[in-house]
Amino acid sequence: MSPSLQTGRAPHEAVAKPQGCTNLKLRQLMRRVAQRYDAEVGQVGLKGTQYSLLSHVVKLEPIRPVDLASRMNVDASTLSRNLQPLIAAGWLTLEAGADARSRLVRATEAGRAKRAEAQRRWRVAQEGINATLGPERVIALHALIDEAMQALDEA
């Protein structure tokens, strides 16, 4: 079979090849997006990562740190390091679990209030991204990310 029949392209058409480093491009995009979210959520005294952690705990509590790390796709040492400022601020607690070796993470009332306050700022950031990029582009971006993650998981 000829190349044009195999690809559906005329023999003179060149196949487009990706240019540049995918990792670099994704990191650049992520930094720009994160800056927008951090600027908004920062108005209530949280970093974007702290808001995400607080939100996960509020949704999943009570939860063992190992399970929380798994759900957030972070390693245990990263989670432990990120929990400390939220515990120190009084927004989360680390309590005894079912046995002497286990612990449970819970949000305090102050933590739930902080999350609600931050969620309003997060929504402002989300709407700003949607307005800047346009809803169609955001929907397409989400679909492309989901497809790429699934393909990478299957590989």
pLDDT tens digit sequence for 38-93: 999 999 999 999 999 999 999 999 999 999 999 999 999 999 999 999 999 999 99
Tell me: pLDDT of 9 over 90.
no
- The model carries a pTM of 0.80
Q: What is the CATH number of domain 22-37+46-154?
A: 1.10.10.10
How far apart are alpha carbons 64 and 105 in whole angstroms? 6
Residue 8's pLDDT band (cuts 50, 70, 90): low
How far apart are alpha carbons 89 and 87 in whole angstroms? 5
List, for residues 18-35, the tens digit of each pLDDT value. 889 999 999 999 999 999
Q: Whose CA is closest to 88, among 56, 65, 111, 117? A: 111
